């Protein structure tokens, strides 16, 4: 592996991490969707780099699927969804943003610490980036927890999948093709179902604020 | 095509099981056709019952037969095996269910909640499942059929599902059955000893360490005890039996409880290998406690079916006492005595199957004729229902354990077994076991008391209500069923040597000895379990002597007493007239026992004051174990669920936080 490839990979990884932080801090939904699309693009870039450096054919296909699905289709669906739901503005978070950034930093440290023993055993050229992938997963999870509206939660869910995908690429050159296809389909179907849910929630409560779901609790 | 394979007895039995299933399906097709279901399907099923007992008795002395039935999951077929033990219990199933099915044909007349066709399906599924339980030779087949049995009997219990009490009884039943089934499943899990092979053949081949073997024993005792109604898992019995229609009660009490005994014998004597002595003591203690509890509560009941349900608990207790004794003897390698105790238990199983079915069917006839289950409102029915009364009398004598009935034979054999405990090497056991023997005698005596109460209050004296005078006797099919079971009771009582010869192959297979050699004493008439010098019993001689004495007394009374009739105004105790309600009642008859065993009961009494214009006396007797055990378990469960319920906050963020924290904790855990 040439040092240049390594540098490029690290660049994409840091872009991913940066976007994860940006999503954590972002208040507007439209920007959130754009950030998600850019994160997908960074993912495509890193996957193609790994594929080019190692000659793994199937990684090109994965990159293609990611490009189509996460950069084009999903953001398109999301944009249309918020137009139809008319929820462009937003978003009060449950915890204020500086605190969340601090928690995010703790998570990154934790993830790097965690990934250290694993990346020592890995043969992959991208093993150094495993920590970043884990950090992306954890931070997307954190975003899901701290947002009170349904759409940002869905974006958090999708971003988490991005992190997982990146972890798979960096640790073991990606999952088998069949699994990747399956996951891609899952994400798409999950998106559609969540969209339906969001319409239903709004029908029911005249709002997408999931606080209303607390009424469903059994006392 | 090759030559036709020879048809074995096990194939015949499977054909019968399939035919039962088919009858059930026909019942579904004719959902509301009483005549078809009652007059054709149920009698047909009785013929199949006779066939299955014939096949089982034919196969009993032979070598075990096996079969593999490719139903269920792929690569996991049902292994079936017909050996002496399963053949014996299949014969019991056939004999008892033949009478019950014929009776049921006449019993289910007008709609009782569930339509008759559906009832027919449940009933025959129940029969088929019980037969398959006895044939099962791997844990998978056993558990599947065991659960089918529990579910089908649940639907039978809740036949009158429109009544809330009956639904509650059914729920209690299915709950206890499932708790027991879990214990049985765990027991099989221990028995297969990490080999992953759940066939009984593999379990037989394993030898467990004493600790795990004891675990398996205790789990089996708990699991099968839940089905059999051992203390403290008996609570469902007195609820479910009165709730179910009488033929169903008969089938459950007579046959289904025996499947639990079958399971206990199968696990302890067949699968587990050599037992430890203290298992026997545990079984003895539990069995005796159950028997005593059952009989004491039976004495206090005023509902005739509840009374019989408690009496079933008592009989199961006695059977388990016999099993415990057999385990103790087997643990000390006293094989012929173990065989004696085991024979007593198995003999009592088949006796109880017959006489308790008979009595339950009798109560069914009484219930149909009078619409009354309360003993306080019955009485004098012998005049109006002679068939039911006389057949019940035989059942009552058997249940009370009087010679020359079958009940006497098994209780006598059990006590004979106790007489030999002086030869046990363990001094503590030598001191302890006579106490158990005394307990068994007490139970037997109280059982007699209970049965006098049952028969006397229902059939003797004068009718306590006016409507009883219009009670009609049982119909044709019902009479046939009652007669079949009565004949069974009488024959089992009169020819014990023949029965013991039938049981012999089982004890040979399980403990290596039999009784028939010594038991016959060279004579088919005389039963002598160990040797003719020690003790022997001849029921036919007994019968002859009893009949002679009764005849003599009758003649003498007629000769010397009658003809000297003197009519005079009776001393009327200050009452201007006497009514039928002044007879001794069920409450009154049970009162001495309630006094003596007062600490056993949770009794609530409402006594009227002396100045009450409309005095009412009310006494309710409840089971103290319900409060001591079950309500506490319920309270603990409720408290725990409330704690767990605090997790449920209704906010997605919190739920996500749970997953997040779990993930982080697990990651930390793997890192460490």
| Among B536, B559, B582, residue at a domain's last position | B559
DSSP character at residue B559: I
Q: Give the residue-averaged pLDDT of B575-580.
A: 66
- Pairing mode, strands B78-82 and B602-606: unpaired
Q: Could you give the CA distance from residue B321 to residue B408 in angstroms, rounded to a whole number?
A: 16
Asked whether residue B518 is assigned to any structural domain, the reply reads yes
| Cross-chain CB nearest to A216 (options B650, B660, B667) | B650
Contact A23, A36 (CB under 8 A): yes
Asked whether residue B326 is assigned to any structural domain, the reply reads yes
CB contact under 8 A, A114 and B657: no
Residue with the larger pLDDT of the pair B490 and B614: B490
Asked whether residue B158 is assigned to any structural domain, the reply reads no
Q: Does residue A93 belong to the interface with chain B, where contact is any CB pair within 8 Å?
A: no
Burial of B161 from C-beta contacts in 10 A (0-12 / 13-18 / 19+) = middle
Q: Does residue B657 belong to the interface with chain A, where contact is any CB pair within 8 Å?
A: yes
Question: Which chain A residue has its CA at the smallest distance from B664's CA?
Answer: A138
Please give the pLDDT value at position B1: 42
Same domain assignment for residues B391 and B517? yes
Asked whether residue B418 is assigned to any structural domain, the reply reads yes
pLDDT tens figures, B49-95: 999 999 999 888 888 888 888 877 777 888 899 989 999 999 999 99
CB contact under 8 A, B649 and A211: no
Most A-contacting residue of B660, B669, B670 (CB-CB within 10 A), to test interface: B660
Asked whether residue B584 is assigned to any structural domain, the reply reads no
Domain limits at B661? 628-671
Same domain assignment for residues B548 and B664? no
Q: How many Cα atoms occupy the beta-carbon half-sphere of B602 within 13 Å?
A: 7
- The DSSP line for B458-499 is HHSS--SSGGGGG-----HHHHHHHHHHHHHHHHHHH-HHHH
Same domain assignment for residues B555 and B632? no
Burial of B30 from C-beta contacts in 10 A (0-12 / 13-18 / 19+) = middle
- The DSSP line for B44-106 is HHHHHHHHHHHHHHHHTTS--EEEEE--SSTT-PEEEEE-HHHHHHHHHHHHHHHHHHHHHHH
Asked whether residue B14 is assigned to any structural domain, the reply reads no
pLDDT tens figures, B489-501: 999 888 888 888 8
| Cross-chain CB nearest to B660 (options A94, A141, A215) | A141
Residues 158-187 of A with CB under 8 A from B: none
User: For chain B, what is the domain count?
Assistant: 2
| Among B527, B559, B591, residue at a domain's last position | B559
Q: Which of B382, B405, B413, B399 is nearest to B487 (CA)?
A: B405
Residues whose CB falls within 8 Å of the CB of residue A158, separated by 6 or more in sequence, listed in order: A36, A70, A74, A187, A191
Q: Does residue A216 belong to the interface with chain B, where contact is any CB pair within 8 Å?
A: yes
Q: In angstroms, what separates the C-alpha of A45 from chain B's closest C-alpha? A: 28
Q: Does residue A217 belong to the interface with chain B, where contact is any CB pair within 8 Å?
A: yes
Same domain assignment for residues B543 and B633? no
Asked whether residue B508 is assigned to any structural domain, the reply reads yes
Q: Which of B304, B285, B174 is nearest to B238 (CA)?
A: B304
pLDDT over 50 (residue B590): yes
Q: Could you give the CA distance from residue B309 to residue B300 in angstroms, rounded to a whole number?
A: 12
Same domain assignment for residues B511 and B657? no
Beta bridge partners of B68: B79
Same domain assignment for residues B288 and B370? yes
- Pairing mode, strands B618-622 and B78-82: unpaired
DSSP character at residue B627: I
pLDDT over 70 (residue A27): yes
Question: Which chain A residue has its CA at the smallest distance from B663's CA?
Answer: A138
Question: Model confidence at A201, in pLDDT bands (50, 70, 90)?
Answer: confident
| Among B518, B539, B559, residue at a domain's last position | B559
Q: How many Cα atoms occupy the beta-carbon half-sphere of A161 within 13 Å?
A: 22
Q: Which of B631, B629, B662, B623 is nearest to B294 (CA)?
A: B623
Please give the pLDDT value at position B90: 93
Cβ contacts (< 8 Å) between A211 and chain B: which residues? 651
Q: In angstroms, what separates the C-alpha of A152 from chain B's closest C-alpha? A: 12
Q: Which of B387, B362, B384 is nearest to B373 (CA)?
A: B362
pLDDT tens figures, B278-323: 899 999 999 999 999 999 999 888 888 999 999 999 999 999 999 9
Task: Work out the percent of chain B whose per-residue pLDDT is above 70.
Answer: 93
Could you tell me where the DSSP H helices lie in B302-426? 304-331, 335-370, 386-400, 406-419
Torsions phi, psi for B621 (to 5 deg)? -115, 120
pLDDT over 60 (residue B530): yes
Whole-model pTM: value is 0.78
Of A134-148, B333-347, B590-604, which range is least confident? B590-604
Please give the pLDDT value at position B516: 62
pLDDT tens figures, B219-240: 999 999 999 989 888 889 988 9
Q: What angle do CA B352, B355, B361 make, to 5 degrees?
A: 125
pLDDT tens figures, A155-177: 888 898 888 888 888 777 767 77
Asked whether residue B646 is assigned to any structural domain, the reply reads yes
| Max CA distance (Å), chain B | 105
Same domain assignment for residues B384 and B520? yes
| Max CA distance (Å), chain A | 62
pLDDT tens figures, B176-202: 999 999 999 999 999 988 888 888 888
pLDDT tens figures, B2-38: 455 677 888 889 999 999 999 989 888 887 777 788 8
Beta bridge partners of B69: B78
Contact B260, B228 (CB under 8 A): yes
Same domain assignment for residues B400 and B504? yes
């Amino acid at each position: 592996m040439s040092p240049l490839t390594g540098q490029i990979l690290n660049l994409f990884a840091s872009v991913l991490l940066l976007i994860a932080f940006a999503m954590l801090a972002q208040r507007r939904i439209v920007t959130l969707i754009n950030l998600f699309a850019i994160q997908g693009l960074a993912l495509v870039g890193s996957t193609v780099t790994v594929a080019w450096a190692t000659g793994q054919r199937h990684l090109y296909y994965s990159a293609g699927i990611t490009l189509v699905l996460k950069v084009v289709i999903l953001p398109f669906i999301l944009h249309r969804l918020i137009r139809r739901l008319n929820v462009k503005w937003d978003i009060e978070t449950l915890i204020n943003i500086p605190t969340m950034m601090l928690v995010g930093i703790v998570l990154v440290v934790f993830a790097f610490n965690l990934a250290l023993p694993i990346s020592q055993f890995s043969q992959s050229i991208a093993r150094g980036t495993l920590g970043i992938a884990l950090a992306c997963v954890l931070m997307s999870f954190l975003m899901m927890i701290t947002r009170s509206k349904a759409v940002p939660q869905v974006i958090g869910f999708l971003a988490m999948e991005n992190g997982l995908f990146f972890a798979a690429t960096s640790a073991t050159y990606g999952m088998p093709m069949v699994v990747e296809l399956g996951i891609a389909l899952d994400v798409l179907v999950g998106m559609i179902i969540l969209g339906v849910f969001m319409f239903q929630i709004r029908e029911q409560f005249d709002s997408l604020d999931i606080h209303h779901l607390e009424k469903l609790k059994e006392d | 095509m090759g030559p036709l394979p020879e048809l074995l007895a096990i194939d015949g039995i499977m054909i019968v099981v399939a035919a039962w299933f088919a009858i059930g399906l026909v019942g579904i097709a004719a959902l509301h056709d009483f005549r078809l279901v009652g007059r054709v399907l149920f009698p047909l099923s009785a013929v199949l019952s006779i066939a299955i007992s014939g096949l089982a008795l034919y196969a009993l002395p032979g070598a075990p037969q096996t079969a593999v039935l490719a139903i269920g999951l792929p690569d996991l077929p049902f292994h079936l095996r017909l050996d002496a033990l399963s053949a014996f219990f299949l014969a019991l199933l056939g004999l008892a269910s033949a009478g019950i099915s014929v009776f049921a044909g006449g019993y289910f007349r007008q709609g009782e909640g569930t339509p008759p066709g559906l009832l027919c399906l449940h009933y025959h599924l129940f029969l088929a499942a019980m037969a398959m339980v006895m044939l099962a030779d791997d844990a998978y087949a056993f558990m599947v059929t065991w659960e089918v049995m529990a579910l089908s009997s649940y639907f039978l219990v809740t036949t009158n599902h429109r009544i809330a009490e009956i639904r509650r009884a059914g729920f209690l039943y299915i709950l206890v059955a499932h708790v027991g089934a879990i214990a049985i499943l765990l027991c099989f899990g221990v028995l297969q000893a990490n080999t992953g092979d759940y066939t009984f053949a593999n379990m037989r081949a394993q030898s467990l360490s004493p600790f795990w073997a004891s675990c398996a024993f205790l789990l089996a005792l708990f699991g099968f005890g839940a089905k059999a109604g051992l203390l403290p898992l008996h609570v469902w019995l007195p609820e479910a039996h009165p709730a179910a229609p009488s033929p169903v009660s008969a089938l459950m009490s007579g046959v289904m409880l025996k499947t639990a005994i079958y399971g206990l014998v199968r696990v302890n004597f067949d699968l587990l290998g050599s037992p430890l002595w203290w298992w026997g003591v545990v079984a003895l203690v539990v069995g005796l406690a159950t028997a005593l509890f059952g009989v004491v509560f039976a004495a206090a009941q005023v509902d005739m079916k509840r009374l019989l349900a408690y009496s079933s608990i008592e009989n199961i207790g006695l059977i388990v006492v016999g099993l415990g004794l057999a385990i103790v003897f087997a643990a000390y390698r006293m094989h012929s005595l173990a065989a004696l105790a085991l024979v007593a238990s198995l003999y009592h199983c088949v006796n109880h199957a017959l006489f308790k079915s008979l009595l339950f069917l009798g109560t069914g006839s009484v219930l149909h004729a009078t619409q009354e289950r309360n003993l306080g409102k019955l009485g004098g029915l012998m005049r109006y229902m002679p068939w039911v009364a006389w057949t019940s009398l035989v059942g009552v004598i058997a249940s009370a354990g009087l010679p020359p009935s079958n009940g006497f034979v098994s209780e006598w054999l059990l006590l004979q077994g106790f007489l030999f405990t002086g030869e046990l090497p363990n001094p503590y056991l030598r001191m302890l076991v006579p106490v158990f023997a005394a307990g068994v005698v007490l139970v037997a005596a109280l059982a007699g008391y209970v049965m006098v109460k049952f028969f006397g209050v229902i059939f003797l004296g004068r009718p306590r209500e006016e409507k009883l005078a219009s009670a009609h006797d049982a119909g044709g099919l019902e009479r046939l069923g009652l007669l079949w079971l009565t004949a069974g009771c009488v024959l089992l009582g009169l020819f014990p040597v023949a029965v013991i010869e039938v049981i012999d192959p089982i004890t040979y297979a399980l403990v290596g000895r039999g009784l028939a050699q010594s038991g016959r004493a060279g004579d088919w008439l005389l039963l002598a379990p160990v040797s003719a010098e020690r003790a022997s019993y001849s029921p036919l001689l007994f019968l002859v002597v009893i009949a002679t004495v009764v005849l003599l007394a009758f003649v003498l009374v007629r000769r010397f007493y009658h003809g000297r009739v003197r009519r005079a105004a009776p001393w009327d105790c200050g009452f201007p007239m006497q009514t039928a309600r002044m007879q001794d009642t069920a409450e009154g008859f049970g009162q001495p026992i309630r006094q003596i065993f007062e600490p056993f009961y949770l009794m609530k009494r409402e006594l009227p004051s002396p100045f009450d214009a409309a005095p009412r006396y009310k006494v309710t007797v409840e089971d103290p174990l319900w409060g001591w055990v079950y309500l506490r378990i319920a309270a603990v469960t409720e408290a725990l669920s409330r704690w767990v319920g605090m997790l449920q906050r209704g906010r997605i963020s919190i739920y996500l936080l749970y997953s997040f924290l779990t993930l982080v904790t697990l990651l930390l855990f793997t890192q460490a």
